[in-house]
Amino acid sequence: MNAAAVLRTADRFLMNTYRRPPLVFTRGRGCYVYDHRGRRYLDFLGGIAVNALGHAHPAVVNVLRQQAARAIHLSNLYHNEFQGPLAEKLAACSGMDRVFFTNSGSEAVETALKLARAYAKQKPNGAPRTRLLALENAFHGRTFGALTVTATAKYRDPFAPLLPEVAFVRLNDVADLEAKFDTRVCALILEPIQGEGGIHPISEAFYSRARQLCTAHDAAMIVDEIQCGLGRTGRWFAYQKFPERPDLVTVAKPLAAGLPLGAVLAREKFAAAFAPGLHGSTFGGGPLSCAVALAVLRTIQRERLLENVRARGAELLAGLYELARRFHFIREIRGEGLMLGIELETDAAPYVEQALARGLLLNAAHERVLRLLPPYILTAGQVRTFLSCLADVLASTPRAKSSRHAPSPTPTRAIARAARVGGHQETP
């Protein structure tokens, strides 16, 4: 392959939406990817939380080969043999009742917002309930509806005006939530751990109050698990650490191992607001992607990967706190399982570049946060390799010697918390 020609063509013909290093990745195996020169990289980005089973997992490759030769697409005007069983499995993992399949995370968010509005419209009398609440610093996608509930100005402003009637609540600020929740609200959407926003977990107090208010106002509580869901925290869903279920759940990224597939999972009461013709999707829930998604969920169970996520996550966290003791420009370490963020005092981009140069893939979320989203199949050896490489990356910068601030929070407490994440359910 002529990498220079590939880069030239991309530069000439692709729209200018991504800032990419001058590399062409050609293949992957397990937790590693390889570039055009055959150079190997330890993948701690996992295709941005997509490659839960790493690359070229035999369970995925086998199903793909078999199913591609049988039927890739059949249309949602007919049943296929995998949609129902996949919906059943997702319902069992989540405690939800019904499922609608989409092509992407953004489309799942769109669907959830439409379902919430359709449900609210069914009520015969009273003031119209069309208002949406979302959280500051949230990210829910790039389509117009999803962008409407995405707070960050740089994503929104160039495309304004977006949908009317949205308000943003400060993360974990119960008083702000109470002040903004009124009788016109039809849905509140939140990420249990904000991903693009820089790995910020939601507090139990905030989640519980949100649940109470949604119930009291008969509004839909939508939990966006597109980045943090389907095992990444060591539970099937991040919200399962809280006692109560939401009304709607969106999932996507790891669901079909990189094939485009998302879903909205809903409680019966809300699901019943959709009737034939009200909503649809040409590609969503095709036989190939659903067959692969079933294989992904089966493999997570069979290989006991939720346990692995918890064990490797605890090792990572312990190692990161060691690094925080050495490098005082690490301000905070946040997250759960294999969704971790390292907040620095400075811009994270140079560290991402250094890591790439040393054969390690990770990225920066929200400017100052190094984000880790490795595959669930990560080994203890790979955790050690990562920590040693990251130590070299951190030591290679002038900040390594000059910073004065001590890290927070108290390391030992947070490590203990990560090791005993409760409430997980392993059997769909």
Q: Among 111, 227, 281, 308, which residue interacts with ligand PLP (rule: CB under 6 A)?
A: 227
Q: Residues 239 to 278: which contact ligand PLP by CB under 6 A?
A: 252
Q: Of the candidates 141, 231, 284, 374, which one interacts with ligand PLP according to CB under 6 A? A: 141
Following CA atoms 97, 98, 104, 107 in sequence, which dihedral angle do they give, to the nearest 10 degrees? -110
Amino acid at 145: G
Query: Using the rule CB under 6 A, is 373 a contact of ligand PLP?
Result: no
Give the nearer residue to ligand PLP in terms of CB position, either 150 or 354. 150
Question: x-or-dash pattern for ligand PLP, window 181-220, by CB under 6 A?
Answer: ----------x---xx------------------------
End-to-end CA distance of the chain: 44
Nearest to 267 by CA among 231, 223, 301, 300: 223
- For ligand PLP, the closer CB: 30 or 341: 341
Closest CA to 50 of 72, 71, 67, 33: 33
The reply on whether position 293 binds ligand PLP by CB under 6 A is: no
Q: Does 87 bind ligand PLP (CB under 6 A)?
A: no
Show the tokens assigned to 278.
């009200």
Q: Which is nearer to ligand PLP, 105 or 286 (CB)?
A: 105
Q: Which of 100, 139, 168, 351 is close enough to bind ligand PLP by CB under 6 A?
A: 139
**Other beta carbons less than 10 A from residue 13's beta carbon:** 7
Burial of 41 (0-12, 13-18, 19+ CB in 10 A): buried
Question: What is the rounded distance in angstroms from the CA atom of residue 208 to the CA atom of residue 243?
Answer: 8
Give the nearest distance from C-beta 297 to ligand PLP in angstroms: 18
What is the distance, to the nearest Å, from the Cα of residue 411 to the centroid of all Cα atoms in its chain? Answer: 25
Give the binding-site size for ligand PLP (rule: CB under 6 A): 14
State the minimum distance, in angstroms, from the CB of residue 112 to ligand PLP. 10
Closest residue to bound ligand PLP by CB: 105
The answer to whether residues 139 and 197 touch, using CB atoms and an 8 Å cutoff, is: yes
Binding part of the chain for ligand PLP, among 90-98, 135-143, 233-241, 369-377 by CB under 6 A, reads 135-143
Stretch that binds ligand PLP, among 28-36, 138-146, 318-326, 412-420 (CB under 6 A): 138-146
Q: Residue 106, interface with ligand PLP (CB under 6 A)?
A: yes
Region 375-404 residues binding ligand PLP, contact defined as CB under 6 A: none
113: helix, coil or strand?
A: helix
Closest to 232 measured CA to CA, from 252, 212, 260:
252
What is the C-alpha to C-alpha distance for residues 226 and 262, in angstroms, rounded to an integer?
A: 8
Would you say 34 or 283 has its CB closer to ligand PLP?
283
With contact defined as beta carbons under 8 Å apart, do 194 and 168 qualify?
A: no
Interior CA angle at 155 toward 152 and 159, to 5°?
A: 125
Residues that bind ligand PLP (CB under 6 A): 104-106, 109, 139-141, 191, 195-196, 224, 226-227, 252
